[in-house]
Amino acid sequence: MSTYNIVHKKRIHLGAAILLGFFALLFFLLIGRFFYLQATGEAHGHNLSAEASERYNVDKTIDATRGSIFDRSGDPIAEDTPSFNLVAVLDEALTTDDKKPRHVVDPEDTAAKLAAVLEVNQNEILEKLQLNRKQVEFGALGRDLPLSVKKEIEDMKLPGIGFVEGSKRFYFNGKFSSHVVGFARANDDGVVSGVTGLEKMLEDELKEQNGSLAVKTDNKGIKLSMDSDVSYVPAINGKNVHLTLDKTIQTFLEEAMNNVVEEYEPERIIAIVADPKTGQILAMGSRPTFDLNTREGLTDNWNNDAISYRYEPGSTMKIFSLAAAIEEGVYNGSELYQSGSYSLPKDPIPVYDHNRSGWGTISFDEGVQRSSNVAFALLADKMGTDTLLEYIHAFGMNEPTGIDLPDETTSNINYDYYRDRISTAFGQGSAFTPIQQIQAATAIANDGKMMQPYVVDKIVDPNTNEVVLENKPKQKGTPISEKTADKVLEVLESVVSSENGTGRPYSIEGYKVAAKTGTAQIPGPGGYLSGHGEYIYSITGMAPADDPELLMYVAVEKPKIAQHENGAGPVSGVFNSVMRRSLQYLSIQPDENQQNTPKKKSVGMKVPNLVGKNIQDVSSGSNGPEYVMVGEGSKVLKQTPQPGREVIKGERVILLTEKSPALPDMTGWSLRDVRKISNILKLETEIIGNGYVLNQNIIPGTPVEQGNNLVVELGSNRPLPQTDEQEEETEETESEEDSEDS
């Protein structure tokens, strides 16, 4: 073999050896890397298991919604609606193209523009934008923004500014039985929960549970077919709460209280409207109040005064003392007594009538009509104060009513001394709550049967449509007989109809009203307050008097009244308006036998179910409501009022025919009609003033979407007449109000 061949072979062997060694080293490196990855599960600081799970496992949160709150007709009071939270990207590394920046480039300019839209301090925004973070949210400054604000910010095309979609609690009517409904809001973690009222008390029922979906996919994102690779937890929506509140009657009440606040500036108003046959609360409100959406005014009064404020009621308490005296057989309406003052045994200070000189020798019937304290002191003596206390207990006034609202308080019955016992008979010395008086008065209006008040009608699980709670009328007792109840109503009707009656300002044309007025003293640091207007003026009234369908209590504390005025002005401003409008709204027939009062024709009719109907098939008849088509669609998607609701001739019924309709011209519309269209379109509505629509911020014909801000200015102008009968009714209403003011 030649020397060349030998050298060539050696080189080949050496190359093979080197190549073999290289592959052996590579093999051992790969094996070592494999075992390292198996042992640590990390590569270059990344968790391989987590990244694989992220790439091949798709995890989604299925959002659930908090339960809604409805009035007794199914109209929404509170619902979850879409909202947007403002976020800012501050990390410059996320911008890959300087022409299309993805982070906040100019914090000062961005803060100035955002502050102008959000109406907040520019420095607060700038402080957020200068934080050393990759991304920031703005907390309360940028949380729960409506769609209109989101669009306005998007139109500015600010680099690095974006939104995270969520939901917020929306209250359709703003100031609407605010202390009853309460409100829910999100904490810093975005978790929504109830803070006050029913929203807090029914948190467990209203609370939602988000669901989840976990799916394993291949490297192309296609779901693997094995059932074991899918994990699904359904979303559970919160339960829906249906209240006994009637949105229309509550709106009447809110409007009336607003008018009285504007005219008389009282420190407090409390009002309750109830169905005495069932105990259902149809409306409940107070002033000061607050806006459920903005919470403006919340710090003025956190409490629901209708159930948590006890005070000496004054002469409205005489209703129950009268009932006790009649039931005990010691009341003779034609019996005479000397009015003015009455001396108590071993007490140097007599009981005085509000007219200290009295009215001479008068009958007990006249004494009730004139609200004589002496008459009721004599009745308490006749039946015995221990017997009176038994009736106070029988009327449930010694304990909470048990109404399904949070934070109810109870009475303070001061019965230690004889004077206190006698004073309790005419509403002084002992303190009670408005809701205790309402419950007790149901016995007067309901043939002696006392009904427990309640506000929650039913709770429905929307996931199964199961009714999980349904309240029924509950009788709390029978403190008096039917015969006694009828007699009390007869006497109380004379308080309103008699020329001597303190209730004359509370008469309502076409209806008999049974009522008792009250003027309660307010305890102060050195005794009771004195001076003109330094009282709580009140009324407990029922109508129609022969068989009451509505029971109402109104109290107005320390109104600013002129020297020639008494408390009837502010109290009747609430009572008369709400009672009259509610009776008509409920189509309760006027009393044919009421003297000197013309009977009004019934103009009520039930709204048909028009959802799904072609708009060509819907027409406004001369004797029916006026149908207002919102949108240019061919079919009715939603309607308000709901099918079956009673409406009067010419009343507007709103029919929605498309999802983003144009807003109509609402000039001359009433607040009630504005609420209808606001609710059906789910607009965030701000009402300015009282009366009828003068201006609206959204130009008629402009398309609107859920969450848009609608601002409506009301004025004292009369509505545009729609029918001769409606114009006649308006003239009658104005005439009545003028006579009440006089």
Is 582 among the residues known to form the active site? no
489 with 630, same domain? Answer: no
144 with 212, same domain? Answer: yes
Position 465 in a domain: yes
537 with 621, same domain? Answer: no
Residue 117: CATH number of its domain: 3.90.1310.10
Output 623 or 402, whichever has higher pLDDT. Answer: 402
pLDDT in tens, 579-596: 999 999 998 888 766 543
Q: Is 567 helix (H, G, I), strand (E, B) or coil?
A: coil
For residue 218, the model assigns a pLDDT of 56
DSSP string, 97-148: -TTS--S-S-HHHHHHHHHHHHTS-HHHHHHHHTSSSSEEE-GGGSSSB-HH
- pLDDT at residue 688 is higher than 90: no
CA-based nearest residue to 535, from 514, 517, 553: 517
- What letter does residue 315 receive in the DSSP assignment? G
166 with 283, same domain? Answer: no
- pLDDT at residue 318 is higher than 80: yes
Percent of the chain at pLDDT above 70?
86
* Residue 250 confidence class, pLDDT cut points 50, 70, 90: very high
502 with 558, same domain? Answer: yes
611 with 524, same domain? Answer: no
Percent of the chain at pLDDT above 90?
53
Position 301 in a domain: no
Output 282 or 61, whichever has higher pLDDT. Answer: 282
Position 157 in a domain: yes
- Partners of 466 in beta bridges: 461
Average pLDDT over residues 509-516: 95
Output 717 or 188, whichever has higher pLDDT. Answer: 188
* Residue 597 confidence class, pLDDT cut points 50, 70, 90: very low
CA gap 104, 160 in Å, rounded: 4
What does the block give as tokens for 107?
């914090």
Average pLDDT over residues 112-137: 89
Average model confidence (pLDDT) for the chain?
Answer: 85
For residue 483, the model assigns a pLDDT of 97
145 with 238, same domain? Answer: yes
Assess contact for 236 and 208: CB atoms under 8 A: yes
* Residue 47 confidence class, pLDDT cut points 50, 70, 90: low
258 with 237, same domain? Answer: no
Output 76 or 97, whichever has higher pLDDT. Answer: 76
Position 299 in a domain: no
CA gap 397, 440 in Å, rounded: 7
Output 304 or 33, whichever has higher pLDDT. Answer: 304
Output 407 or 60, whichever has higher pLDDT. Answer: 407
450 with 381, same domain? Answer: yes
Pairing of strands 692-696, 184-186: unpaired
Output 451 or 12, whichever has higher pLDDT. Answer: 451
Q: Is 177 helix (H, G, I), strand (E, B) or coil?
A: coil
If one counts the domains in the chain, the total is 4
Average pLDDT over residues 170-198: 90
Please report, for residues 453, 455, 456, 461, 590, the alpha-carbon distance to residue 470 in angstroms, rounded to integers and kept in the order given: 14, 11, 8, 12, 33
234 with 259, same domain? Answer: no
For residue 724, the model assigns a pLDDT of 33
pLDDT in tens, 420-450: 999 999 999 999 999 999 999 999 999 999 9
Assess contact for 677 and 630: CB atoms under 8 A: yes
Output 633 or 2, whichever has higher pLDDT. Answer: 633
> Among the three residues 528, 550, 585, which one is the final residue of a domain in this structure?
585
Domain membership of residue 83 as a residue range = 61-243
Output 55 or 405, whichever has higher pLDDT. Answer: 405
Assess contact for 396 and 450: CB atoms under 8 A: yes
Position 600 in a domain: no
Cα dihedral sign for 665, 670, 674, 676?
A: negative
Position 304 in a domain: no
For residue 622, the model assigns a pLDDT of 60
Position 320 in a domain: yes
For residue 599, the model assigns a pLDDT of 38
560 with 435, same domain? Answer: yes
Residue 580: CATH number of its domain: 3.40.710.10
Average pLDDT over residues 9-23: 73
Position 719 in a domain: yes
Q: Which listed residue (315, 321, 423, 507) is catalytic?
A: 315
* Residue 647 confidence class, pLDDT cut points 50, 70, 90: confident
158 with 255, same domain? Answer: no
CA gap 190, 635 in Å, rounded: 38
